[in-house]
Amino acid sequence: MSVKWQELYSARARGMKTSEIRELLKLASKQDIISFAGGLPDPALFPLAHFQEVTDFVLEQKGKKALQYSETEGLGELRELLAERSRADDIPCDAENIIITSASQQGLDLAAKVLLDAGDTCLLEAPSYLGAIQAFNAYQGRPVGIPLDDEGLRVDLLETKLRELRAEAIRPKFLYVVPNFQNPSGVTLSMERRQRLVEIAARWDLLIIEDDPYGALRFSGKPLPSLKALDPDNRVIYLRTFSKTLAPGIRLGWIIADKPFVRQIAIAKQATDLCTPALTQHIAYEFCRRGYLEEYVARVREEYQRKCQCMLAAMDEFFPAAVHWPKPTGGMFVWATAPAYLDTVEMFPRAREAKVAYVIGSVFYADGSGRNAMRLNFSLPTLEQIPQGIERLGSLLRAEIASHEGVVTLEPTRVH
Ligand X SMILES: Cc1ncc(COP(=O)(O)O)c(C=O)c1O
Residues in touch with ligand X (CB under 6 A): 39, 103-105, 129, 131, 178, 183, 211, 213, 241, 243, 248, 253
Nearer to ligand X, 127 or 394 (CB): 127
Which string of b and e fits 310-347 if b means at least 16 CB within 10 Å? bbbebbbbbbbeebebbebbbbbbbbbbbeeebebbeb
CB of 1 to ligand X, least distance (A): 39
CB of 105 to ligand X, least distance (A): 3
Burial of residue 301, with CB atoms counted within 10 A of its CB: 0-12 exposed, 13-18 middle, 19 or more buried: middle
Listed in sequence order, the residues at least 6 apart from 367 whose beta carbon sits closer than 8 Å to its beta carbon are: 126, 145
CB of 131 to ligand X, least distance (A): 5
CB of 130 to ligand X, least distance (A): 8
Nearer to ligand X, 247 or 401 (CB): 247
CB of 58 to ligand X, least distance (A): 21
127 cis-preceded (ω within 30 degrees of 0)? yes
Nearer to ligand X, 39 or 320 (CB): 39
Nearer to ligand X, 330 or 394 (CB): 330
Nearer to ligand X, 239 or 336 (CB): 239
CB of 213 to ligand X, least distance (A): 5
Nearer to ligand X, 37 or 354 (CB): 37
Burial of residue 43, with CB atoms counted within 10 A of its CB: 0-12 exposed, 13-18 middle, 19 or more buried: exposed
